[in-house]
Structure 1
């Protein structure tokens, strides 16, 4: 059991190191870009985020504002209609809590 646990910990450490190296490489690439380009890219990413947010909010408002948009509420059949086995402790517990 402990060998398996140690193997999983080793895999997790390797994965963490791999992710850490990837983040450092991406950060180095970002820092190599000029500040002007960094600002432009940040503005573009933020603009796209705002645009997607506005589209989603408008879509929600349009779909919920339609008069044909209805919600049906039906009865939920939660109690099984199957015959119960007599003598089973599980069935005694289930049947004791149901209203008769």
Structure 2
């Protein structure tokens, strides 16, 4: 048990180090780009974020203003007959109130 725990901890440490190296590499690439390109990319990403946000809000507004926006609650079908044990008194009690 202790060996397994230590193995998991070393795996997590390796993963953390790998993620840390990846972040440093990406940050170096970002710093290598000129400030003008950084600003342009930031504006493009922010514009995409705003566009997606507006689309989601409009979609929610459209879906909630529909007149047929009702929730229907129906009986759940599809419980397997194999799961019930034949001859069990518990199943007779449970199944006695179900519609057939």
Name the Cα RMSD after superposition: 4.4
Residues 49-91 of structure 1: CA deviation (Å, up to 9, x unaligned): 0000000000111111011221224688999999999999999
TM superposition score normalised by structure 1? 0.72
Q: Note closer, same or farther for the CA distance 1:92–1:2 as it changes in structure 2 (3 Å cut).
A: farther
Larger mean CA deviation between 65-74 and 44-53 belongs to: 65-74
Q: Note closer, same or farther for the CA distance 1:96–1:25 as it changes in structure 2 (3 Å cut).
A: farther
Q: Which runs of 4+ in 1 moved over 3 A?
A: 73-100
| Structure 2, unaligned runs of 5 or more | none
SS at match of 1:94: helix
SS at match of 1:57: helix
Larger mean CA deviation between 76-85 and 16-25 belongs to: 76-85
TM superposition score normalised by structure 2? 0.72
Residues 37-56 of structure 1: CA deviation (Å, up to 9, x unaligned): 10110010000000000000
| Structure 1, unaligned runs of 5 or more | none
Aligned residues, how many?
100
